[in-house]
Chain A
Amino acid sequence: MLALTRKPGQKIMIGDNIIIHVVDVQGDNVRLGIEAPKSVKIYRSELYEAIIAENKKAGASSHENVDLSDILKNK
């Protein structure tokens, strides 16, 4: 991992067409601006990681001998 220190107003370029702007720092919060082609997806990592974790749980849970046949009847 490459670690850089930047001040608000400075930027980081990733490859030829991704730019991270360090917009502002207020206390614990860093405001970032990201310029990237539409094809590059940008997510808050905790959301993406939560989805990975949930998919892994979902893939494991369907192994249980779960009986879903009465579900509609209860609804």
Chain B
Amino acid sequence: MTAIGWLQCLVVVALVLASVVPLGTHMARVYAGERTFLSPVFGPLERGFLHLAGERAVRPQSWLGYTLAMLVFNAAGFLLLYAILRIQGVLPLNPQGFDGVDPALAFNTAVSFVTNTNWQAYGGETTMSHLTQMVGLTVQNFLSAATGMALAAAMIRAFAKTGREALGNFWVDLTRSTLYVLLPLSIVLALAFVAFGMPQTLAGSVEATTLEGAKQIIALGPVASQEAIKELGTNGGGFFNANAAHPFENPTAITNALEIWALLAISAALTHTFGRMVGDKRQGWAILTVMAIILGGALVVAYWAEAGGNPLLTALGVDPTMGNMEGKEVRFGTAASSLYAIATTGTSTGAVNAMHESFMPLGGFMPLLLIKLGEIVPGGVGSGLFGILVIAVLTVFIAGLMVGRTPEYLGKKIEVKEMKLAMLAQLILPLSILGFTAVAAMLPTALASLANAGPHGLTELLYAYASATGNNGSAFAGLSANTPWFNSTLGIAMFLGRFGYVVPVMAMAGSLVVKTRGTASAGTFPTDGPLFVGLVVAVILILGGLQFFPAFALGPIVEHLLMATGRTF
């Protein structure tokens, strides 16, 4: 670990923190339906869309109406994307003349992009036409992110409002998220990316003659625009197979820093939006602190593991000063790679600028751990916030009883119905992750896809299902996932992780919003102080840790211990 390495991390963290208040405040105005400084530009567009939808469609909705609207919208998005993928061969903007995608992969990819997962079982530049990338994938990059943000806005209202039925209107929230947050940020960021050397063109590919005289085909395309929303919307689906490790997706250290900022910015700022909308900014800061503590801890471990280098190689005489550079880009080094890995798995992004599989056992354990904790520190845009609020509700319930009152969060009592729905949502994670992993671990068809044996292979499986269920989308690499088994089971895992989780959570929001919001007193459990922050961290670690500890022990933990004895996989 070096001072310069830490400095790189600190700069990015400072950038993220600096944007929390302005961006969070802006989003609070957006979801309160107020005018923003962008209204002169996007206001007419917004009114146009909502006018098209009709007056009935934009009335306040109950949780059920809101959720159904969300499901219908996402189902339509899925069907459209699936169709584009299947028939891209006959559609325009296909300079490389790619064929339609096969059904299992098309299903997997469509679910993947609709659920904000962006798991990619294919290489983008060798599979997808420009039309698919732009109209299919990038559109979903916006809409899946906006869906998450809309759901978060609804969840916040569940706490902020008192004694009401309605959680807001999905169509309004969706439109406003896209027009006032995602679109303007993406435009600015894409321009910045272009300025720092990212390609943005509709040309197919160029042919170059290398020094040895060989011909090389260099793929090009509208990279910068897709890159911006890929990070901002915590999507993670790269234009290229190598994702953000590819020089066109992430040319310099500056774009790298900007990308990490973009990964974290909205999810972090939503905590402030939350604080503002519930009328107590400290509540938002407490949630952000929880996220920062876990993310910071994971960063320290990962960077420490990576910077230390591989002891086995060091023993063979390899200079360890660069750290473990296997699978990393020289222009980023261990610090920026570790930070990227932590940010991309802490948010449910899944973009990578280094191959997580080549991390040291403990270095690769951290991204896995962050995904397994449920993608809530800080999590995907929107989904991270409502996810951590569910954990906050559970924390308040377990610990809140200790102060001798019926547990309440932000003045809303946590009772039977909330517990039922929160636990139902929490069950989805182990059911999907461990369930699929256990079946795959016994299935020869599945095991054939593993590149590595022993505990490392197990980690690959665990990572794949955790990534899909957590809607992260990053791969531990090594796993050949483009098989019917993985395409379908991972597709189901992504579906469960998104909608299986969201529906009970929204039902909980519906139950909370009708409750009268009590006022805090000296007798209420304080949810804005260090004690609560510590408790939420403990609940996240213990709840997540206890579920997955046996699997972890057989995967990365034993691998780490084995490495000490000289065995690798």
Real complex partners, A and B?
A: no
Chain A residues at the B interface, C-beta cutoff of 8 Å: none
Which residues of B come within 8 Å of A, CB atoms?
Answer: none
